[in-house]
Amino acid sequence: MRSRRARGSGRGVRPLSRIVALFALVLLVAGQAGTAAPAGTADRAYGAVGRLQIAGRGFCTATLIAPRLVLTAAHCVTRDDGSLRAPDDLRFDAGLRAGVSNARRVASRVVVPDGYRPSLALTQIARDVALIQLRRPIGARQVDPLPVGRAAGRRVSVVSYAKDRADSPALQSACNMLGRREGAMLLDCAAGFGSSGAPVLSRAGGVTRIVAVISAKATADGRLVTLSTELDGVLPRLLARIPDAF
């Protein structure tokens, strides 16, 4: 794990580039030292959100977006040098609660943006998205996938697993977008180790959509914030590399 600290302290809402320069950032794969984010229990309406087990490295959060397709953070599925982890090392447990999942699948293919390397540079956080194709589909009777879309306003929510609640997802239902730049989005949500790849959700017209995935956490003057990766620009290019994704 890497971290970066710059001089100064953050107060109020600033442009995203300024905020990133002032905060200490940490990527959020579980299995490292750290604490989880406070949140309420997520109900079964979020059954598409699951735990991504990473052999030899802990876990992240991931979400089913199609019967054979799972969305998460790129740093969850890459090594420090940017090389991809073997699909056999990645296992997705949809809706995992108290050791029981709605469905369990192993990956067959993994794709991340070209040139991605695990890093806290803003240019890499803006690419911190991965798609995992499953060996076998998960049927609609087991799990309803969550759709992807654009944020409708500044209010969002996050469903995630974390180090001290590895078997139970939690919901933060009242987060706000503080700023955005070049594909990165700053939120006032708290995040813990294991929250990497968690879906940032926006609701409009009675439909809940994934608009970003959690990448890193930060603090400034005791205030917890989170950096996430928007899906608008990067996701269509990843989907184009999996012609049989759906």
Q: What pLDDT sits at residue 56?
A: 65
195, 162 in Cβ contact below 8 A? yes
Identity of the residue numbered 147: P
Phi-psi category of 241—alpha, beta or left, where left has phi over 0 and alpha has psi -120 to 50?
alpha
The whole-angstrom distance between residue 138's C-alpha and the CA centroid of its chain comes to 20
Q: What pLDDT sits at residue 229?
A: 94
Q: How far apart are CA 232 and CA 229, in angstroms?
A: 9
Q: Where are the alpha helices (DSSP H) in the chain?
A: 16-22, 122-125, 235-239
Q: What pLDDT sits at residue 44?
A: 60
Q: What pLDDT sits at residue 218?
A: 74
Q: What pLDDT sits at residue 133?
A: 97
Non-local CB neighbours of 218 within 8 Å, separated by 6+ positions: 20, 23, 24, 25, 26, 224, 225, 226, 227
Q: What pLDDT sits at residue 29?
A: 57
Q: What pLDDT sits at residue 99?
A: 86
6, 27 in Cβ contact below 8 A? no
Domain boundaries, the chain: 3-41+146-230, 47-145+235-239
Q: What pLDDT sits at residue 53?
A: 95
Q: How far apart are CA 36 and CA 124, in angstroms?
A: 24
Nearest to 109 by CA among 230, 246, 245, 231: 245
Identical fold between 3-41+146-230 and 47-145+235-239: yes
Q: How far apart are CA 176 and CA 200, in angstroms?
A: 10
125, 215 in Cβ contact below 8 A? yes
Nearest to 165 by CA among 190, 195, 210: 195
| Range 230-237, long-range pairs (CB < 8 A, 24+ positions) | 230/126, 230/180, 230/183, 230/184, 230/185, 231/71, 231/129, 231/148, 232/150, 232/183, 233/126, 233/183, 234/113, 234/126, 234/127, 234/129, 234/183, 235/71, 235/129, 235/131, 235/148, 237/113
Per DSSP, the three-state class of 122 is helix
Name the CATH superfamily, with its identifier, for domain 47-145+235-239. Trypsin-like serine proteases (2.40.10.10)
The predicted-structure confidence for 48-58, as pLDDT tens digits, reads as follows 999 999 986 79
DSSP 150: -
Helix, strand, coil percent content, the chain, rounded in steps of 5: 10, 45, 45
3-41+146-230: CATH topology:
Thrombin, subunit H (2.40.10)
Query: pLDDT under 50 in the chain at which residues?
Result: 1-15, 17-24, 30-41
